[in-house]
Amino acid sequence: MLYGFVELWRYRDLLWLLTVRDLRVRYRNSVLGVAWSWMNPLLMMLVFTFVFTVMSRGPADLPNFHAFVLVGILAWNTFAASVQSAAESITANAALVRKVYFPREVFPLSVVLSNLLNFLISLPIYFVVAWASGIQPTPWLLLLPLTVLAHGMFTAGVALAASAFHVFYRDTAHILQVLLLAWFFLTPIFYPISILPRNASFLWISIDVWLWTRRLNPMASIIASYHDLLYYGTYTAPDFLIRTIATSGLVLLAGYALFRRLSPRFAEEV
């Protein structure tokens, strides 16, 4: 794996070119261009706000519920779009994989980087909404780059694993659509984790729902960090961020190890 990281660094220019290409293709021949990165989360924010303020109550009891939802949607869209697109990135470039040698991981990683850049482009729209809603930034916002780092590492780890599996099992992309939909609702995006029961019983076993939601779902921890920094303006447990970064790093290493193990067989499978 160490050799893989060194080799990837040698091909950093190719990785950057592919990242820029993905961004250009995304907005090519688009009338609104980059504005589409704002329209999608804003539209979803309006839908969830309407559903939970007009059609029903519940998590909408939060002040400035629309801003709370927007934070989660921006972070989740980045993750979901990265994993879904990265899964097919190797097979979509089969001709290059068969003919030219370079680190194959540049394909899924370029997808992740382009979506992270798109996330950073979209983030200012949240600050506009927050300012209009009276939400003031706090010094805790300085920890935002660390949360983005954890977000990127976790996304890259899952994307690398998904892209490797898809080479051998072409149903992976279809399965991911279902898994990501279920994952969306299991992640505290449009509801705070505090509305979940603190303890529950399953098969006569008492479970701390809050604790295991975050342990079994790293995206819950990442989005909770975004909510803390951007919406609540506080961070009650800084060690929680350290654990989130450590977990994301382990997922990245595991995904990369799996990718490196399977990549020598890519050319004959695509």
Residue 102: pLDDT band with limits 50, 70, 90: confident
| Number of domains making up the chain | 1
For the segment 213-252, what is each residue's pLDDT rounded down to a tens digit? 777 889 998 999 999 999 998 876 777 888 889 999 999 9
In this predicted structure, which of 43-47, 182-186, 237-241, 249-253 has the lowest mean pLDDT?
237-241
Interval 60-71: pLDDT, tens: 567 888 999 999
- Give the mean model confidence (pLDDT) for residues 40-45: 84
* Range of the structural domain that residue 205 is part of: 2-269
Token pair 């939601």 in the structure block, residue: 213
Smallest CA-to-CA distance from 242 within 141, 143, 123 is with: 143
Of all residues in the chain, what percent carry a pLDDT higher than 90?
44
What would the mean pLDDT of 201-210 be, rounded to a whole number? 69
Mean pLDDT over 47-59 rounds to: 72
Task: Give 21-38 pLDDT, tens digit per residue.
Answer: 887 777 665 556 666 667
**Is 60 exceeded by the pLDDT of residue 181?**
yes
Confidence of residue 55 (pLDDT cuts 50, 70, 90): low
